[in-house]
Structure 1
Amino acid sequence: MKKARVVVVGAGVVGFSTAVCIAEALPMCSVTLLADKFSPNTTSDGAAGILLAVEFPDIPLERQRRWFKDSFDHLLAIAQSQHSPEAGVILSSGWQIFKEVPVDKLPFWSELVIGFRLMTDCELKRFPQHKFGQAFTTIKCECSSYLPWLENRFIKAGGEVKQRKVNSLEELSSSYDIIVNCSGLGSKNLVGDTQVYPVRGQVLKVEAPWLQHFIRDGDGKAYIYPGIHSVTVGGTRQEGDWRLQVDEEDTRSIMERCSRLEPSLSKAKVLSEWVGLRPNRKNPRVERVLVHLQGCRVPVVHNYGHGSCGVTLAWGTALDAVGLVRQCLNEMLLEAKL
């Protein structure tokens, strides 16, 4: 039987995760990944890459929990394997602290990370501006290593990678049987999704090898994430801001906020500054639709709009996308028999 031709659009962490999952789970498909930008020039490359989830309003919590658990389990297996350094996936322990006690003291993912507990009063003394905190071990995934590692895994599974800008789904419909859209913020133009919008994030990489534990302010405006080669400090959450240039005022503000949490940062050497646009949406879009393209009905599977949770949920939503592609294949098989 002729292989079904599947194309995945997008080479960020969601795109490559989805492409790998399809290529490995569905050998009856030939899978091609198309993108105009690859690592180190994707939004994912600058992501802090720490596994922490936000709660989306209109997606059943059970589904969000499964996305998180599938991603966590997948990355934990890598962190505990010989691939950890080359894949850039490591365990990371630390604290999330809050100026006010949050409504939800135990987030839905608390039982899925390792050793989650509430911080003691003694521990909180270190952060006098904060009243409440959580201590746990999670995973840090450095996409500048992880994306090339995933690309190699995809090629080993028989996948093909092509650099090409995709301007419309129409231009793909004659060459592929199923289109999988993982274009993130690009979906605004590619599929006319007005619900997706940029949230500008600026981070710094600093040299501070003495820092071993992450610290995250619960409001998301200050975080310190030690990694393999450097420490990521951030950040900004500027909604609707398309600027990709580094803002020196933001740099100063980030260092000021983070130094209040960790005074020794004032001694750290800044290695680089980076800006990325998170593909925000009220809820990620993980669904399949039939689209009329050039007189034919073409199945399209969407997997985008993860906002700041791209690394956190990529593998989980990729597994969902595989299920949706499988449904498309079954329907195509039924139609062929009729």
Structure 2
Amino acid sequence: MPTILDACGVETPTEVDGVPQQPVDGRSLLGVLDDPDAQLVPPTQYFEMLGSRSIVHGEWKATTDHVSRGVEDEERLLPGSRDFAADRWSLFRLPDDFAEARDVADQHPDVVRELSALWDAEAERNQVLPLDDRMQERLAAMIPPAWPPPARASYVPGGTPVHDEALPLLFGGFELTTDAEVPDGTVAAGVLCALGDLNGGFVLYADGGRLAFACSRAGDLDRVVASEPLGAGRHRLGVRYDVGQGGKEEGEFTLHVDGEDIATTPLGGPFPYTFQHGGAGLSVGHDRGLSVDPERYRPPFAWRGPLHEVVVDTMRGRGRAERSADDELRAALHSD
């Protein structure tokens, strides 16, 4: 942001829409763009994530061994402290230990004290204190955005991938429907839409003429495949995710063609709240990067025929009044 403002000759605003802005600690990199040999003095950078802390200052980096609460595997398996008062700071000298492999905290206790105090000062200045290492409680305390993701959204081919955080929230159930054509004399094949990759995501596609849907939950793959091939012509092709009933976390995926359910498979585990953060995004009409279902296709595996639209409709949006075009535009601008 400071680089862009500098390039445009715009001062950093102290107020936006009547709201005072926090100071921007970042700085312009325009000087490096003008002179590749220019050297910038390394800034002080501090970090905090669920109680884990770290700071980079000059040639040093200090980081704690704190283990947060709320992630079962981390609580059970990770070495480190579960008590803020008992946290140990490790120290690394970055110029000759870029990989942070040699902890020299015991050799430089004065530097550790200096960086620990500097972290406290930076955290207080940026309103990070008091510290809280509980995941569920921090998630529950988050203030939702004024312009939340839509309950229903429509996408068309030809654009860049849709950012994960701009999509409707899918964990509560959804229906994904595509308007696609299978040309005469061809076998239906290709990706209708794909989100993420084999590390986490889902894909609706056809292989060998048969419609299929695959969902990867951190590498655990659930797949449902139609028993009959698609015929030529224009179709409504999609999948529905129904959440589990009676307290069960797992649900099921159901393929449907032209409004008729044709195949169902149970979900092998809880459906993720979100697949990725800043990941591959939703691609329409093809896949990119790493395949969601590497046994069945290799990206881009573009859809062989016209694809008119992909609609994502979440269950929470059923029965709600549609927002006006002005409201949708205002929401998009404020959430971008």
- Give the shorter-chain TM-score range: under 0.3
Larger Rg: 2
More helix by share: 1
TM-score (normalizing by structure 1)? 0.19
TM-score (normalizing by structure 2)? 0.19
Q: Which has the higher contact order (CA 8 A, sep 6+)?
A: 1
